Amino acid sequence: MTIITRGGVRISYDDCGGTGPLAVLVMGSGSPGRVWHTHQVPALRGAGFRVVTLDNRGVGGSDECTAGFTIDDMVGDVAALVEHLDAGPAAVVGTSLGARIVVELALAHPDLVTRAVALAAHARLDPVQRAFTAGEIALADEKIVLPLGFHAAVAAMQNLSPATLRDEQTAQDWLDLLSFGGAAITPGHRAQLAASTALADRGAAYRDVAVPLLVVAFADDVAIPPRLSREVADTVPGARYVEIPDAGHFGYLERPDEVNRVLLDFLAVR
């Protein structure tokens, strides 16, 4: 991992190599950039991209910034990274909170972005998502740590498709994986959650996105329902919309072949 510093905040990134066009991958809340490394990094490397992942401020090797920060801060971090790499403009891919970051980046810094892909895109949170996120923040503030098995079960139901969980061995494998990182919400993760809830409905603003955009929704996503992703695609002029079946919020891990296929089709150098 390598560090850049922006405004006194250290941002950790991983240059995965490659000599082609730059692609920067932005993860969702609570997750480090290495989550991309199992499936999306090899696919993009194989397609000729130079691939870079980063840990958003709040998690991983980046500073936690427990006093809080905004989406604009996170967008600025990605912009600073692209400029630091001196290989832009870049294709940018984000999921969940990362999807908001890359769409906002395309809006604020179109000169730094060739194409943007937003997995589980959304311009707003609906009442259920807002209440769920507020509950996670309250757990952190009250220093309540859920029992590990219960935490894993909730995470599985929140992020995975019933099609994935139907196979009991696969379900158990996921429960084991989701237990690995523990159940505590770290201060940095809590700050990311707060930044997400603070962002108002951005639907009207997204009408001004001029960068080519692919919106990818996951048919069984209960964290960010497909209708919210469809709203983004319907708002951004010329945006393309793809919905992946039998996939939940972690669709890029559940159905990596399908996700990578649509990514590469959209990002292919023309």
Q: Among all residues, which ones are annotated catalytic?
A: 96, 221, 249
Q: How many angstroms from the chain centroid is the CA of residue 52?
A: 14
CA distances from 177 to 24, 34, 195 (A): 25, 14, 26
β-partners of residue 54 are 13, 26
Closest CA to 73 of 56, 94, 93: 56
What number of other Cβ atoms are within 10 A of residue 2's Cβ?
13
β-partners of residue 94 are 26, 118
CA distances from 48 to 21, 60, 117 (A): 7, 27, 17
Q: Do residues 116 and 82 touch, judged by C-beta distance below 8 A? A: no
Cα atoms found within 13 Å of the Cα of residue 56, Cβ hemisphere only: 36
Buried (b) or exposed (e) across 157-176, using 16+ Cβ within 10 A? eebbbebbbeeeeeeeebbe
Residue with tokens 């709040």: 58
**Pairs from 155-159 (Cβ < 8 Å, separation ≥ 24):** 157/222, 158/132, 158/222, 158/223, 158/248, 158/249, 159/223, 159/248, 159/249, 159/250
